[in-house]
Structure 1
Amino acid sequence: MVRTPPPAVLAAVEAAAMGLGDGALASRVGCLLPSLPGARLLQLPRCVADSRAGRAAGSKQDLEGWSEALSAAVTSLRAGGLVAVPTDTLYGVACSASCSAALGAVYSLKGRCQTKPLAVCLGRVADIYRYCQVRVPREVLEDLLPGPVTLVMERSGELNKDLNPFTPLVGVRIPDHAFMKDLAQMFSGPLALTSANLSSQPSSLNVKEFQDLWPHLSLVIDGGPIGDVKSPECRLGSTVVDLSVPGKYKIIRPGCALTQTAAILQKKYGLVPSEEPCS
Structure 2
Amino acid sequence: MFRPDLVHLRYLCCRTIYYHLTYYKRQSKFFHSKPQEILMNKLIELNEKSRLQAISLAVRLIANGCVIALPTDTVYGLATDVHNSSAISKLYNVKGRDPSKPIAICTHNVNDIGNWGKTDHLPYGLLDAILPGPVTVVLDRTEILNSDLNPGETKVAIRVPDSGFICDIVSYHKKPITLTSANESNKTSTLKPEEFSTLWPKIDAIFDGGPIGSSSLSRLGSTIVDLSTPNHFSILRDGSALLPTVHVLNSFGLRHL
The TM-score, its normalising length taken from structure 1, stands at 0.77
Can you list the C-alpha shifts for 1:3-54, whole angstroms capped at 9, x where unaligned? 315xxxxxxxxxxxxxxxxxxxxxxxxxxxxxxx866221111xx4xxxxxx
Equivalent residue for 1:67?
52
Q: For structure 1, which segment, 138-147 or 85-94, has the greater mean C-alpha deviation from structure 2 after superposition?
A: 138-147
User: Is 1:188 matched with 2:174?
Assistant: yes
| Pick aligned residue for 2:118 from 133, 138, 155 | 133
Separation in structure 2 between the aligned mates of residue 75 and residue 38 of structure 1, nearest angstrom: 19
Q: How many equivalent residue pairs?
A: 223
Separation in structure 2 between the aligned mates of residue 154 and residue 38 of structure 1, nearest angstrom: 42
Superposition CA RMSD, Å: 1.5
Aligned 8 A contact 1:111 1:199 in 2:
yes
User: Is 1:166 matched with 2:160?
Assistant: no
User: Is 1:272 matched with 2:255?
Assistant: yes
User: Is 1:217 matched with 2:232?
Assistant: no
Equivalent residue for 1:44?
46
| Pick aligned residue for 1:204 from 159, 176, 190 | 190
Q: In structure 2, give the amino acid aligned to 1:112.
A: R
Separation in structure 2 between the aligned mates of residue 250 and residue 84 of structure 1, nearest angstrom: 30
Q: Which runs of 5+ in 1 are unaligned?
A: 6-36, 49-61, 275-279
Aligned 8 A contact 1:145 1:174 in 2:
yes
Separation in structure 1 between the aligned mates of residue 126 and residue 41 of structure 2, nearest angstrom: 38
Can you list the C-alpha shifts for 1:138-171, whole angstroms capped at 9, x where unaligned? 4111011110000000000111000011210000
Q: In structure 2, give the amino acid aligned to 1:3.
A: Y
Aligned 8 A contact 1:84 1:221 in 2:
yes
| Pick aligned residue for 1:246 from 220, 230, 243 | 230
| Pick aligned residue for 2:221 from 225, 233, 237 | 237
SS in 2 for 1:4: helix
Aligned 8 A contact 1:39 1:218 in 2:
no
1:111-130 equivalence runs, <5 A: 111-130=96-115
Following TM superposition, by how much is the alpha carbon of 1:186 offset from its aligned partner in structure 2, in angstroms? 1.1
| Pick aligned residue for 1:102 from 72, 87, 91 | 87
Separation in structure 2 between the aligned mates of residue 218 and residue 108 of structure 1, nearest angstrom: 13
Q: Which runs of 5+ in 2 are unaligned?
A: 1-16, 21-38
| Pick aligned residue for 2:128 from 114, 119, 142 | 142
Separation in structure 2 between the aligned mates of residue 137 and residue 186 of structure 1, nearest angstrom: 29
Relative to 1, partners in 2 of residues 1:213 and 1:43: Cα closer, same or farther, differing over 3 Å?
same
Can you list the C-alpha shifts for 1:195-242, whole angstroms capped at 9, x where unaligned? 0000111110001111111111111111110000xx222110000000
Q: For structure 1, which segment, 130-139 or 252-261, has the greater mean C-alpha deviation from structure 2 after superposition?
A: 130-139
Identical counterparts, % of pairs: 41
Separation in structure 2 between the aligned mates of residue 246 and residue 153 of structure 1, nearest angstrom: 11
> After TM superposition, which residue ranges in structure 1, 4 or more long, deviate above 4 angstroms?
none
Separation in structure 2 between the aligned mates of residue 165 and residue 39 of structure 1, nearest angstrom: 34
Separation in structure 2 between the aligned mates of residue 194 and residue 248 of structure 1, nearest angstrom: 26
